[in-house]
């Protein structure tokens, strides 16, 4: 008998590639005094009233399971919020489910809809988990790239070219991680037309919706005929600075949310109760803190955008999230070479664009969810590094 | 005042040493425009000065105490509280004076080197004013948070992992 226990691992899991971010994490972790622009989460601590509400729920002994789909009170507040912020109507009773982060919502949405071999279109560069989540759910991920020339916005003709008879759904992340691109209503409408024509479903990852800086956010679900074709996925991580609480949600047509709830019920039971009580407070009275954080992100976005322009690195104007995605092609380095040399020489961690998909090659993702003090120093170091490579 | 002007004030209120170029980038104006705006705020006395927030507790060799004094006064016909407030705020030991709603009228913050110095100020200067009916003095034992800043907290303490998706 072989002693290699890896023979027990399922083939489709064994063949999954570890995320490219992992390697950078390992590298950066070994070094001291690194300024990290590689972090995909807010630098703020969760607003105090939310923390306090969660404490209170624990003190009161609310430590049991909740309903599978989450506290009805929380689902009600989520429905109210979606209605008032984005004018999309959902029923708390059967059209909303509270999940363990938006990540779990994506996972159970895919598992609920995919038959083996079904194709899911993924718009790259994008969050690293989508393709693997599709594979794990038995589907086949199909990538569509976006280009800087179009501000990394999905072009309808490119989407049309990748639709086949097997296509079941498309995952859209707006505003986008890693590019910060936000698509407007006019830009989303032709996408919606294709969705309708080809009878597809949209998994709309709207986790950064609250963090949009220049114009009002349009939820995909609010477009004509799209309410019944959209699973809206969001959560508390980014806007309320609650990443570690692992609390997200999905809203969509009742049949789909009920199918997701079935998986959720058998695999997770319910999202953590104390986190749900924190989220209730976040939605009740957290909007002032969100506004404050959002203002701070916008100012930092402006700061880093100008800094990159001044050092001669081309960048699009990111309309949302807290990432900027400058081109480093001028330096003649690949994304990985640039990120690695920058880390070694200047101790600044960024994420190479190619880990988010092939079309991210030639770019780096910098998160500006970091204090102005750190950002100022980081920009100084990157400038010095870029100058050393350009001359 | 437009949104960008208010943002300039907010940024300076948080960090009086923030340089014009950084502010300019953050609010998407030119450095000249930011300079002009700051000059205007100074001229209009919207900006009254630039100070530094110091936690004196850990400064070796520095002695000092602060007291918050609740003062009840008789308002003067036609002048209200303004005259007596002025009599009080002119004293250099007085760092702040506020007109309050509730059980007393003026809240006066006084700084001195020692408790007896502050006590002398209260008994000799403050309570002897004609319009002052009574005073209640509270000495500050420890400052946890001042002007929105939590003392003793390390702002740069980043608890996040260095790289995440």
Average pLDDT over residues A357-379: 96
Q: Is B67 on the interface with A (CB under 8 A)?
A: no
CB contact under 8 A, B162 and A376: no
- Summarize chain B as % helix, strand, coil (round to 5): 35, 20, 45
Q: What does the mean pLDDT of chain B come to?
A: 92
A363 secondary structure, DSSP code: B
Interface test with chain B among A37, A38, A48, A205, by most B beta carbons within 10 Å: A38
Spatial separation of the C-alpha atoms in residues A161 and B80, rounded to whole Å: 78
Q: Hey, how many other C-beta atoms are within 10 angstroms of the C-beta on B114?
A: 11
Average pLDDT over residues B87-105: 95
pLDDT bin (cut points 50, 70, 90) of residue A319 is very high
Spatial separation of the C-alpha atoms in residues A276 and A282, rounded to whole Å: 10
At residue A160, the 3 state secondary structure works out as: helix
Tokens of A172: 């859209």
CB contact under 8 A, B163 and A28: yes
Q: What does the mean pLDDT of chain A come to?
A: 96
CB contact under 8 A, B156 and A371: yes
pLDDT bin (cut points 50, 70, 90) of residue A2 is low
Taking 80 as the threshold, does the pLDDT of residue A73 lie above it?
yes
Taking 80 as the threshold, does the pLDDT of residue B100 lie above it?
yes
Q: What is the CATH number of domain B56-145?
A: 3.30.70.920
Instruction: Give pLDDT tens digits for A248-264.
Output: 999 999 999 999 999 99
Q: Where are the beta strands (DSSP E) in A119-184?
A: 119-124, 140-145, 167-173
pLDDT bin (cut points 50, 70, 90) of residue A97 is very high
Counting residues of chain A whose pLDDT is more than 70, the rounded percentage is 99
Torsion sign over Cα B132, B135, B140, B143 = negative
Chain B residue closest to A366 (CA)? B163
- Paired with A250 in beta bridges are A97, A233
Q: Which residue has the tokens 């702040």?
A: B96
Chain A residue closest to B23 (CA)? A303
Each domain of chain A, given as residue ranges in start order, spans 5-46+288-390, 49-285
Q: Is B164 on the interface with A (CB under 8 A)?
A: yes
> On the CB side of B113, how many CA atoms lie within 13 Å of its CA?
2
Q: Hey, how many other C-beta atoms are within 10 angstroms of the C-beta on A132?
A: 16
Spatial separation of the C-alpha atoms in residues B84 and B73, rounded to whole Å: 8
Instruction: State the ipTM, two decimals.
Output: 0.83
CB contact under 8 A, A299 and B26: yes
Class of domain A49-285: alpha beta
User: Does the pTM exceed 0.90?
Assistant: yes
At residue A368, the 3 state secondary structure works out as: coil
- Answer with the residue of higher pLDDT: B163 or A208: A208
Judge if the upstream peptide bond of residue A175 is cis by omega within 30 degrees of 0: yes
Average pLDDT over residues A60-84: 97
Q: Which residue has the tokens 């058998």?
A: A266
Spatial separation of the C-alpha atoms in residues A182 and A173, rounded to whole Å: 9
Spatial separation of the C-alpha atoms in residues A69 and A259, rounded to whole Å: 11
Spatial separation of the C-alpha atoms in residues A107 and A100, rounded to whole Å: 10
Greatest CA separation for chain A: 64
Instruction: Give pLDDT tens digits for A268-311.
Output: 999 999 999 999 999 999 889 999 999 999 999 999 999 999 99
pLDDT bin (cut points 50, 70, 90) of residue A312 is very high
Q: Which residues of A touch B164 (CB under 8 A)?
A: 21, 25, 38-41
**Helix residue ranges per DSSP H, chain B:** 3-14, 20-27, 31-43, 82-89, 115-121
Counting residues of chain A whose pLDDT is more than 90, the rounded percentage is 93
User: How many CB contacts within 8 angstroms connect chain A with chain B?
Assistant: 66
Interfacial A residues in 50-109 facing B (CB < 8 Å): none
Crossing angle (nearest 10°) for helices A72-86 and A273-285? 40
**Helix residue ranges per DSSP H, A19-100:** 20-29, 48-59, 72-86
Taking 80 as the threshold, does the pLDDT of residue B155 lie above it?
no
The residues of chain B that CATH labels 3.30.70.920 are 56-145
The phi-psi region of residue A4 (left if phi > 0; otherwise alpha if psi is between -120 and 50; otherwise beta) is beta
Residues with Cβ within 8 Å of A22's Cβ and at least 6 positions away in sequence, in order, are: none
Q: Which residues of B touch A374 (CB under 8 A)?
A: 156
Query: Which overall architecture, per CATH, does domain A5-46+288-390 show?
Result: Alpha-Beta Complex (3.90)
Distances (CA, A) of A119 to A122, A157, A168, A201, B38: 10, 18, 6, 11, 57
Greatest CA separation for chain B: 68
pLDDT bin (cut points 50, 70, 90) of residue B56 is confident
- Paired with A171 in beta bridges are A122, A203
User: In this predicted structure, which of A12-21, A73-82, A97-106 has the lowest mean pLDDT?
Assistant: A12-21
Looking at residue A275, its pLDDT comes to 98
Spatial separation of the C-alpha atoms in residues A226 and A203, rounded to whole Å: 11
Looking at residue B77, its pLDDT comes to 80
Pick the CATH number of B3-43 from 3.40.640, 1.10.10, 1.10.1330, 1.10.8: 1.10.10
Q: Is B158 on the interface with A (CB under 8 A)?
A: yes
Looking at residue A1, its pLDDT comes to 61
Residue A167 sits at the vertex; the CA angle it makes with A161 and A170, to the nearest 5 degrees, is: 85
Using alpha carbons, select from A252, A274, A81, A138 the residue that is nearest to residue A261.
Answer: A252
Spatial separation of the C-alpha atoms in residues A163 and A144, rounded to whole Å: 10
Distances (CA, A) of A261 to A237, A254, A265, B108: 21, 10, 6, 60
Looking at residue A27, its pLDDT comes to 85
Interfacial A residues in 266-305 facing B (CB < 8 Å): 295, 299-300, 302-303
Q: Which residues of A touch B23 (CB under 8 A)?
A: none
Instruction: Give pLDDT tens digits for A11-41.
Output: 999 999 888 888 888 888 888 889 999 999 9
């Amino acid at each position: 008998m072989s002693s290699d226990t890896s023979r027990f691992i399922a083939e489709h899991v064994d063949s999954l590639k570890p995320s490219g971010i992992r390697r950078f994490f390992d590298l950066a972790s070994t070094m001291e005094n690194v300024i990290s622009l590689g972090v995909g989460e807010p630098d703020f601590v969760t607003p105090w009233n939310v923390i306090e509400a969660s404490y209170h729920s624990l003190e009161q002994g609310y430590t049991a399971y909740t309903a599978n789909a989450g506290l009805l009170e929380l689902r009600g507040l989520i429905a109210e919020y979606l209605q008032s912020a984005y004018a999309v109507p959902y029923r708390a009773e059967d059209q909303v489910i509270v999940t363990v982060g938006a990540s779990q919502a994506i996972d159970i949405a895919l598992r609920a809809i995919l038959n083996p071999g079904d194709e899911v279109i993924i718009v790259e560069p994008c969050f690293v988990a989508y393709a693997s989540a599709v594979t794990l759910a038995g589907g086949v991920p199909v990538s569509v790239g976006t280009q800087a020339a179009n501000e990394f916005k999905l072009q309808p003709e490119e989407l049309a070219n990748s639709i086949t008879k097997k296509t079941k759904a498309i995952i859209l992340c707006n505003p986008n991680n890693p590019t910060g691109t936000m698509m407007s209503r006019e830009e989303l409408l032709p996408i919606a037309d294709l969705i309708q024509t080809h009878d597809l479903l949209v998994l709309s990852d709207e986790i950064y919706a609250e963090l949009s800086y220049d114009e009002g956010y349009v939820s995909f679900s609010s477009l004509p005929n799209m309410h019944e074709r959209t699973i809206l996925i969001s959560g508390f991580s980014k806007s309320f600075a609650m990443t570690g609480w692992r609390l997200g949600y999905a809203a969509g047509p009742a049949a789909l949310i009920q199918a997701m709830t079935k998986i959720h019920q058998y695999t997770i039971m319910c999202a953590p109760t104390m986190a749900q009580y924190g989220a209730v407070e976040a939605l009740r009275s957290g909007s002032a803190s969100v506004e404050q954080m959002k203002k701070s992100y916008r100012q930092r976005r402006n700061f880093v955008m100008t800094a990159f322009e001044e050092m001669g690195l081309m960048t699009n104007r990111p309309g949302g999230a807290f990432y900027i995605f400058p081109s480093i092609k001028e330096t003649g380095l690949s994304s990985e070479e640039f990120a690695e040399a920058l880390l070694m020489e200047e101790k600044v961690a960024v994420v190479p664009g190619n880990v988010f998909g092939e079309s991210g090659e030639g770019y780096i993702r910098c998160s500006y969810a970091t204090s102005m003090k750190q950002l100022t120093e980081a920009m100084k170091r990157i400038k010095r590094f870029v100058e050393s490579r350009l001359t | 005042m437009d949104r960008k002007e208010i943002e300039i004030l907010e940024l300076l209120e948080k960090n009086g040493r923030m340089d014009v170029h950084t502010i300019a980038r953050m609010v998407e104006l030119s450095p000249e425009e930011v300079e002009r705006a700051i000059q205007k705020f100074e001229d209009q006395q919207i900006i009254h000065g630039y100070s530094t927030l110091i936690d004196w507790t850990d400064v070796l060799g520095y002695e000092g105490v602060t007291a918050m004094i609740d003062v009840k006064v008789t308002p003067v016909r036609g002048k209200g509280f303004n005259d007596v407030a002025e009599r009080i705020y002119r004293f250099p030991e007085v760092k702040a004076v506020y007109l309050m709603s509730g059980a007393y009228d003026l809240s006066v913050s006084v700084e001195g080197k020692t408790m007896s110095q502050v006590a002398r100020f209260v008994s000799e200067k403050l309570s002897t004013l004609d319009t002052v009916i009574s005073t209640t003095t509270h000495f500050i034992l420890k400052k946890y948070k001042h002007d929105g800043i939590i003392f003793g907290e390390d702002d740069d303490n980043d608890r996040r992992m260095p790289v995440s998706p």
